[in-house]
């Protein structure tokens, strides 16, 4: 699904071995608090290249259990 131009992918469809939790976080007034992952592939790390909302606010509950990507990350099949 696309929210604010960002593609959110269901966690169940991801290969979590490529994601490493980090300490970065941000706050969105209508979605809530976002936590971030580094994307690690082929020995390269894209710091904070993915994010998710562990407990999104009610207006954004559709992104619960989804992860979004940025900073040049390409998600394929």
Confirm if 63 and 8 have CB atoms less than 8 A apart. yes
pLDDT tens sequence across 7-60: 899 999 999 999 999 999 999 999 999 999 999 999 999 999 999 999 999 999
Q: What pLDDT is attached to residue 70?
A: 81
* Model confidence, pTM: 0.89
Domain that holds residue 40: 2-69
What pLDDT, on the 0 to 100 scale, is given for residue 31? 97
| Residues written for the chain | 77
CATH number of the domain that 59 lies in? 2.170.150.40
Residue 15: name the closest of 34, 37, 33, 31 by CA. Answer: 37
Number of domains in the chain: 1
Contact at 8 Å (CB) between 42 and 17? no
Residue 25 maps to a domain: yes
Residue 77 has pLDDT above 80, yes or no: no
* Domain contains 47: yes
Q: Provide the pLDDT for residue 71.
A: 61
75 within some domain: no
């Amino acid at each position: 699904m696309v929210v604010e131009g960002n593609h959110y992918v269901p966690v169940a469809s991801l290969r979590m071995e490529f994601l490493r939790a980090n300490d970065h976080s941000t706050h969105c007034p209508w979605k809530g608090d976002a936590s971030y992952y580094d994307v690690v592939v082929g020995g390269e790390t894209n710091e904070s290249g993915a994010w998710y909302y562990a407990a999104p606010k009610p207006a954004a509950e559709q992104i619960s259990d989804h992860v979004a990507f940025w900073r040049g990350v390409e998600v394929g099949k």
